[in-house]
Structures are given as C-alpha cells and as structure tokens.
Amino acid sequence: MITIVARCAARAESAGDLENLALDLVRASRSEAGNVSYDFYADLADPAKFTFIEVWKDQAAIESHNATPHFQGFVEKAGLLFAGPLEISFYRKLS
C-alpha cells in the first residue's frame, strides 16, 4: 500500500470553493477499485490550509486515479484556487 499526504493552501477568498471542489473529488475517489481510504482535512489554526491523506493499493491504482475525469477536473479547477504549490509526499507503511 502507498499513502499520499498532500498539503495545500487556498487563497483566502477561495477556501470555500476549494473545500467544495475537494469534497467532490474525495467522494468520487473513494469509489475507485484501488482506493483503500481517501480523507480531506481542514487545519484548525488556519481555515485556508488543507491536507489530503490517501491510501492506495499500489502504484497502478494511483496511476489509474490520476487519469480519472474527476481527478483531472479537480486539477484543472483547483489550480486557480491555490495560494501556492501543493506539498506532496509518498509513504510506505512500516508497521
């Protein structure tokens, strides 16, 4: 399994729009065959900061996810809402 942690910040005036867009992505992604879990978090100290934590069965599942219309649509629309680049990290579970 592969865990992805993706952190992002929205422009202050776009936080609500990004949240709604991301929640649509989460709902669609959870139904994918290779998805183990897909969650979206808001930072308690800064409502414009968000974190995605995703767990995928394998690299092939991630590649399939990245090619889906719901992911591609999110990437296309969300780019305008971000305050800066995403910080994305990939992990393998050790225990």
Structurally, how many domains does the chain consist of?
1
| pLDDT, tens digit, 9 for 90 and up, residues 52-86 | 999 999 999 999 999 999 999 999 999 899 999 99
CATH code: domain of residue 86: 3.30.70.100
Query: Quick one: 26 exposed, middle or buried, by C-beta within 10 A (0-12, 13-18, 19+)?
Result: middle
| pLDDT, tens digit, 9 for 90 and up, residues 2-47 | 999 999 999 989 999 999 999 999 999 999 999 999 999 999 999 9
**Which structural domain, as residue segments, surrounds residue 67?**
2-92
Q: What is the pLDDT of residue 95?
A: 87
Q: Report pTM.
A: 0.91
Containing 21, the helix (H) or strand (E) segment is helix 15-30
The string of DSSP codes covering 35-64 is EEEEEEEE-SS-TTEEEEEEEESSHHHHHH
| Residues ≥6 apart with Cβ < 8 Å to 16 | none
